[in-house]
């Protein structure tokens, strides 16, 4: 433990010097996260562009300024929930945690304050809205309550509990939410949108791109996540770049500025699947979106952009042990095959599982340019004949997508060490109109420190947490309180004092005082593990 703590201490020392420089606040802040993007992905994406005549370099290249070590409170290799949450809150967390103080652990590599366990940790998005009155938005290619978007806009100890996370995101009254997840919307969420005049666009790309209103807007596509970019029908599903450009157009109407988080969610998913062509294509789609944000920032003159992954994934490399003579391999040998692949392994699987066995070889060649052997055909025919539901297991389970990936990788020279996350540092790229960018080597907590400074917060995120996420037993001390668990998914806190009756539903931002609804100003979080509501301390004034 002491050895590990010393390593972390060394990691902390140098970046403190870097962040001691002046960071002048700006009006608008954009955070962009290509989820699960290892350094090898940037190299492959650049060579891919060069080989295919798509230009030289990436949009982020002129702005690369350093590296970031990301980790959890008790593990050097992070999951998207705690690593994204640390960017958003400055609080180190454990696997599965979404913007919440973690439990203490025997394996902690950073001191955990057990007195704060389960307290929601205020995010930079919430502070931008509450403290600076800025517009706020999220743009993703996953379903909207997935780990990274949840990290910036919700609070819970388990990232998988969409019933707790999705309503929080809805009741945050985001100015923009573009992504996937129509099937996750509930009647209560839709009614809240109507009550708040929040426009809801569903599966209508034209309506999104033509939206010119001044109000808040959600645009969702598909039942869950958007398709991989390589599989996307451009006539029906917007690209990440198109959604980013529209978000910037909408958010920039706010005279106080905005905070926007954009995630290329599925670089990570393709890396879990060891699907090289899709990894590269997903990253390039993200880099196109980054180009839109950087172009906006350069023209605006009052916008900062910070671009960084939340962790590595798969150990992706150009070159593998299956390709001897690596230093003599030509660019054609390395990039010709990957450049001819037209679908993700999942996309190709969706076609092949419906294809007559006699036609599979022809279909495979059509979408990959590869002639498969009889033995490889048999591996496809013997696959578990369904699409693996857990995207983290696509690279390891014996489904058809996995067997497709094996065939593709046998023809290419890309290497993978795992189907999971990896612990190397990630690249950071940044733009600031006065050049006040984070540089050198940083930790994830210091990324959040930079975000607080560049946003111009006068109140720290911890102080904000202690104001809006207080235990209900403390806020209403001396009053009569009762938790109604008749709906276990959405408990209701009832408080009575004198002739006043206050009702507060879990994961909402609307309270009911003596039968009259009112806006609480922030979301209320209920934690089942300690049966506690966390809410603003000033609610006690409603009952005086």
What are the pLDDT digits (tens) for 132-185? 999 999 999 999 999 999 999 999 999 999 999 999 999 999 999 999 999 999
- Judgement on whether residues 532 and 426 belong to the same structural domain of the protein: no
Do the domain assignments include residue 496?
Answer: yes
- Judgement on whether residues 410 and 461 belong to the same structural domain of the protein: no
Do the domain assignments include residue 329?
Answer: no
- Judgement on whether residues 227 and 304 belong to the same structural domain of the protein: yes
Residues forming a β-bridge with 535: 470
Determine the average pLDDT of the residues in 388-394: 51
- Judgement on whether residues 81 and 92 belong to the same structural domain of the protein: yes
Return d(Cα 401, Cα 386) in angstroms, integer.
9
Determine the average pLDDT of the residues in 99-116: 94
Question: Which CATH number characterizes residue 92's domain?
Answer: 3.40.720.10
What are the pLDDT digits (tens) for 248-278? 999 999 999 999 999 999 999 999 999 999 9
Do the domain assignments include residue 425?
Answer: yes
Return d(Cα 192, Cα 55) in angstroms, integer.
46
Q: Which residues contact 464 (CB under 8 A, 6 or more apart)?
A: 122, 126, 127, 130, 131
Determine the average pLDDT of the residues in 515-530: 98
Mean pLDDT of the chain, nearest integer: 94
Return d(Cα 455, Cα 275) in angstroms, integer.
37
Domain total in the chain: 3
Do the domain assignments include residue 451?
Answer: yes
pLDDT band for position 387 (50/70/90)?
very low
Return d(Cα 89, Cα 79) in angstroms, integer.
15
- Judgement on whether residues 94 and 190 belong to the same structural domain of the protein: yes
Return d(Cα 542, Cα 544) in angstroms, integer.
6
Do the domain assignments include residue 168?
Answer: yes
Return d(Cα 311, Cα 171) in angstroms, integer.
29
Q: Is the pLDDT of residue 390 over 70?
A: no
CB atoms within 10 A of CB 480: 10
Last residue of a domain, one of 431, 466, 501: 466
Q: Which residues contact 435 (CB under 8 A, 6 or more apart)?
A: none
Question: Which CATH number characterizes residue 513's domain?
Answer: 3.30.457.10
Whole-number percent of the chain with pLDDT over 90: 91
Question: In 3-state terms, what secondary structure has residue 174?
Answer: coil
CB burial of 379-399 (b: ≥16 within 10 Å; e: otherwise) equals bbeebeeeebeebbebbbeeb
Last residue of a domain, one of 397, 415, 433: 415
- Judgement on whether residues 394 and 527 belong to the same structural domain of the protein: no
Quick one: 67 exposed, middle or buried, by C-beta within 10 A (0-12, 13-18, 19+)?
Answer: middle
The whole-number pLDDT of residue 386 equals 38
Question: In 3-state terms, what secondary structure has residue 503?
Answer: strand
Q: Which residues contact 255 (CB under 8 A, 6 or more apart)?
A: none
Return d(Cα 65, Cα 142) in angstroms, integer.
28
Last residue of a domain, one of 373, 391, 415: 415
- Judgement on whether residues 277 and 350 belong to the same structural domain of the protein: no
Do the domain assignments include residue 330?
Answer: no
The whole-number pLDDT of residue 384 equals 72
Do the domain assignments include residue 393?
Answer: yes
- Judgement on whether residues 525 and 538 belong to the same structural domain of the protein: yes
Q: Could you tell me whether strands 532-535 and 525-527 are parallel, antiparallel, or unpaired per DSSP bridges?
A: antiparallel
- Judgement on whether residues 118 and 230 belong to the same structural domain of the protein: yes
Residues spanned by the domain of 395: 340-415
Contact 280, 44 (CB under 8 A): yes
Do the domain assignments include residue 322?
Answer: no
- Judgement on whether residues 50 and 90 belong to the same structural domain of the protein: yes
- Judgement on whether residues 398 and 435 belong to the same structural domain of the protein: no
- Judgement on whether residues 377 and 232 belong to the same structural domain of the protein: no
């Amino acid at each position: 433990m002491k050895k590990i703590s010393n390593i972390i201490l060394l990691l902390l020392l140098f970046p403190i010097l870097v962040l001691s420089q002046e960071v002048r606040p700006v009006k608008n802040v954009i955070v962009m996260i290509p989820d699960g993007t290892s350094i090898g992905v940037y190299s492959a994406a650049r060579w891919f562009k060069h080989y295919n005549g798509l230009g030289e370099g990436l949009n982020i290249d002129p702005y690369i300024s350093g590296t970031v070590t990301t980790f959890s409170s008790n593990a050097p290799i992070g999951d998207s929930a705690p690593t994204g949450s640390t960017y958003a809150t400055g609080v180190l967390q454990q696997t599965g945690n979404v913007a919440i103080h973690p439990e203490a652990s025997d394996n902690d590599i950073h001191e955990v304050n057990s007195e704060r366990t389960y307290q929601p940790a205020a995010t930079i998005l919430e502070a931008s809205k509450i403290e600076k009155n800025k517009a706020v938005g999220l743009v993703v290619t996953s379903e909207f309550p997935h780990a990274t978007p949840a990290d910036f806009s919700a609070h819970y100890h388990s990232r998988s509990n969409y019933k707790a996370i999705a309503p929080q995101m809805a009741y945050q009254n985001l100015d923009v939410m573009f992504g996937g997840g129509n099937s996750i919307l509930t009647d209560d969420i839709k009614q809240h949108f109507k009550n708040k005049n929040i426009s809801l666009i569903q599966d209508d790309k034209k309506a999104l791109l033509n939206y010119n209103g001044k109000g808040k807007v959600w645009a969702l596509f598909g039942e869950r996540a958007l398709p991989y970019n390589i599989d996307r029908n451009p006539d029906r599903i917007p690209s990440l770049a198109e959604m980013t450009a529209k978000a910037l157009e909408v958010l920039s109407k706010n005279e106080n500025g905005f905070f926007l988080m954009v995630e290329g969610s599925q670089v990570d998913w393709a890396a879990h699947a060891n699907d090289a062509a899709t990894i590269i294509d997903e990253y390039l789609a993200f880099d196109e979106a980054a180009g839109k944000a950087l172009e906006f920032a350069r023209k605006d003159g009052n916008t900062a952009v910070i671009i960084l992954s939340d962790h590595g994934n798969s150990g992706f490399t150009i070159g593998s042990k299956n390709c001897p003579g690596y230093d003599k391999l030509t660019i054609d040998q390395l990039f010709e095959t990957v450049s001819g692949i037209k679908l993700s392994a999942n996309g190709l699987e969706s076609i092949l599982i419906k294809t007559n066995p006699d036609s599979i070889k022809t279909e495979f060649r059509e979408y990959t340019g590869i002639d498969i052997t009889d033995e490889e055909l048999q591996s496809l025919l013997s696959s578990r004949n369904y699409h693996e539901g857990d995207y983290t297991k696509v690279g390891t389970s014996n489904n058809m997508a996995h067997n497709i990936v094996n065939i593709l990788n046998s023809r290419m020279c890309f290497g993978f060490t795992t189907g999971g996350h990896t612990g190397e540092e990630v690249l950071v790229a940044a733009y600031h109109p006065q050049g006040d960018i984070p540089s050198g080597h940083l930790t994830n907590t210091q990324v959040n420190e930079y975000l607080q400074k560049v946003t111009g917060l006068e109140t720290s995120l911890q102080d904000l947490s202690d104001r809006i996420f207080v235990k209900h037993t403390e806020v209403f001390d001396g009053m009569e309180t009762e938790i109604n668990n008749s709906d276990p998914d959405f408990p209701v806190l009832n408080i009575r004092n004198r002739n006043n009756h206050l009702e507060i539903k879990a994961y909402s931002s609307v309270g009911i005082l003596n039968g009259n609804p009112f806006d609480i100003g922030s979301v209320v979080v209920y934690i089942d593990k300690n049966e506690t509501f966390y809410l603003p301390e000033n609610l006690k004034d409603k009952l005086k």
